[in-house]
Amino acid sequence: MKQQFLKLVADLRFAVTILLIIAFISIIGTIIEQDQSIETYKLNYPLTNKLFGILSWNIILDLGLNDVYHTWWFLFFICLFGISLFTCTFLQQLPTLKIARRCQFFRTAKQFYKLKISKQINQISLNQLLFQLKENKYSIFQQRNIVYCYKGLIGRLAPIIVHFSMILILFGTIIGATEGFKAQEIIPKTESFRIQNLLTNGKISLIPKTLVRVNDFWITYNKQLSVSQFYSDISFLNNNGYEFNRKTIFVNAPAIYKGNYFYQIDWNLIGLRINQNSLNTNQYSLINVGNDVTKIWFSWIPTNSDLTNGFTILINSLQGYLSIYDTSGTFIGNLEINETFNTNLPLSLIEIISSTGIQVKLDPGIPIIYSGFFLLMISTLISYITYSQIWIVQNSKTKDFWIGGNTTRAKFEFELEFSRLTLISNK
């Protein structure tokens, strides 16, 4: 039963079936949005309008289809596919390689009829033929009047390397799904944070207790006044609050600390610090009323105690100024940082308080996956090396020679090589 089970697992049809199941699950993961809030699934997949007629938001959550790549059953199929490749490598590919290394002598003319190309030659110089085979990089094995030659044995390694590379990719996927995590933090400038707001995390992932401080945040704009790039200057602190590492991050240029990647992904304006009447400095909150394409913030600055009169503040960038409107919505003017706006209640803009969005990501399986793909590319190159075999048998009575050969690929080139060998040897 053990041998039958191993043969079943190593069977190509079994591996293809598991691979199709994994592909089908991946398609579902592409159709259904992953790692979204419950409200998103309730809105997109209501009970009255089910996906495919069967999938509503509650079924999606119960089955884990909102995060299929981290479910136990998806990882189970990944492991099963890896076991199939591993078993196939040891039960089929390695024995095939051992057989290819053996001397496979032909002893009768009947065996040549099964070859892809064969020829009977009356007059031939065996020594000259062997010399030509040696010149063409063949390994030669001879027993009196029978000869076996092969070359390109390294090409037989390609399927083994393919299996090993795919096992590495699958192993890296499992490591990343079980030990990795992704978090996102929105931090005001000059504030410190630890990783808390997790978006996804594996079953055995360990969240580092790294203390990070946002020293500064700024934005650069192009000539059209649209955002060109945004930057965050961050410091890594020890438990006593002392800085031991510092880096400026921006989009596509993360900071790396102990395998954790700190990406710059977003930004926001959260408040204004304004000096009123040269006496009091107050802080006012900003509310974002824009969207992902056009960001606009507004605030209300009262000028009396019952908050019925004041100014509406609008700001759409971090360029250091804001726009002021009265209670009727009439534009009054712009106010820049360290500038005073003279009204019945003089206003001075001290600071525009910003926050930065930082995504922290750990995927320990990435180096393993990259190694697997590198080996996969190597195996592709190796697979182009042709494995060719040539047999020679001399009839002890007639002294005629039978010569034939097989090849795994490049059949036309092999036929040309075979013809050249036999023609040269007849001269």
pLDDT digits (tens, 9 = 90+) for 162-195: 889 989 998 998 898 888 899 999 999 889 999 9
Phi, psi of 230 (to 5 degrees): -130, 145
First-to-last C-alpha distance (Å) of the chain: 60
CA atoms of 413 and 285, how far apart (whole Å) = 77
Q: What is the pLDDT of residue 427?
A: 52
Q: What is the DSSP letter of 309?
A: S
Residues 356-377 as b/e (b if ≥16 CB within 10 A, e otherwise) read bbbbbbbbebbebbeebeebbe
Phi, psi of 57 (to 5 degrees): -60, -40
Beta-bridge mates of residue 76:
none
* Alpha-carbon separation of residue 247 from 224, 256, 272, 426 (angstroms): 29, 9, 27, 75
Q: What is the pLDDT of residue 99?
A: 74
CA atoms of 37 and 199, how far apart (whole Å) = 10
How many domains are contained in the chain? Answer: 2
Question: At which of 327, 354, 381 does a domain end?
Answer: 354
Q: Which region among 220-224, 283-287, 390-394 has the lowest average model confidence (pLDDT)? A: 220-224
Nearest to 386 by CA among 128, 116, 194: 116
Residue 193 lies in a domain: no
CA atoms of 345 and 342, how far apart (whole Å) = 7
Instruction: Please identify which residue in the block is written with the tokens 């922290």.
Output: 360
Identity of the residue numbered 207: I
* Strand (E) or helix (H) holding 34: none
Question: At which of 56, 87, 118 does a domain end?
Answer: 87
Q: Which region among 184-198, 221-235, 237-251, 333-347 has the lowest average model confidence (pLDDT)? A: 333-347
Residue 264 lies in a domain: no
Residue 290 lies in a domain: yes
* Residue 262 scores a pLDDT above 90: yes
CA atoms within 13 A on the CB side of 206: 6
Q: What is the pLDDT of residue 384?
A: 85
* Residue 330 scores a pLDDT above 80: yes
Q: What is the pLDDT of residue 152?
A: 86
Q: What is the pLDDT of residue 97?
A: 76
User: What residues contact residue 22 under an 8 Å CB cut-off, 6+ apart?
Assistant: 74, 77, 78, 81
CA atoms within 13 A on the CB side of 31: 12
Residue 225 lies in a domain: no
Q: What is the pLDDT of residue 121?
A: 80
* Residue 360 scores a pLDDT above 90: yes
Give the number of other Cβ atoms within 10 Å of residue 243's Cβ.
12
Quote the longest CA-to-CA distance of the chain: 125
Q: What is the pLDDT of residue 284?
A: 87
Residue 247 lies in a domain: no
- The rounded mean pLDDT for the chain is 85
Nearest to 185 by CA among 56, 358, 20: 358
CA atoms of 100 and 136, how far apart (whole Å) = 19
* Residue 6 scores a pLDDT above 90: no
Q: What is the pLDDT of residue 426?
A: 55
CA atoms of 212 and 235, how far apart (whole Å) = 6
Residue 123 lies in a domain: no
Q: Which region among 271-280, 282-291, 319-328, 357-366 has the lowest average model confidence (pLDDT)? A: 271-280
pLDDT band at 264; cut points 50, 70, 90: very high
Q: What is the pLDDT of residue 373?
A: 93
Q: Which region among 230-239, 242-251, 271-280, 372-381 has the lowest average model confidence (pLDDT)? A: 271-280
Identity of the residue numbered 336: E
Mean pLDDT of 353-371: 91
Q: Pick 99 or 13 by higher pLDDT.
A: 13
Q: What is the pLDDT of residue 21?
A: 92
Residue 64 lies in a domain: yes
Q: What is the pLDDT of residue 178?
A: 87
Q: What is the pLDDT of residue 278?
A: 67
Residue 13 lies in a domain: yes
- Percent of the chain scoring above 90 in pLDDT: 15
Tokens for 278? 């040269």
- pTM across the whole model: 0.70
Chain length of the chain: 427
Q: What is the pLDDT of residue 12?
A: 83
Q: Which domain holds residue 60?
A: 2-87
Mean pLDDT of 117-135: 81
Phi, psi of 340 (to 5 degrees): -105, 130
Identity of the residue numbered 151: K
Dump pLDDT digits (tens) for 369-421: 999 999 999 998 888 888 888 888 887 676 778 888 888 888 888 888 888 88
pLDDT band at 425; cut points 50, 70, 90: low
Question: At which of 289, 323, 354 does a domain end?
Answer: 354
Q: What is the pLDDT of residue 292?
A: 64
Mean pLDDT of 248-256: 91
User: What residues contact residue 86 under an 8 Å CB cut-off, 6+ apart?
Assistant: 163, 167
Nearest to 43 by CA among 31, 57, 30, 32: 57
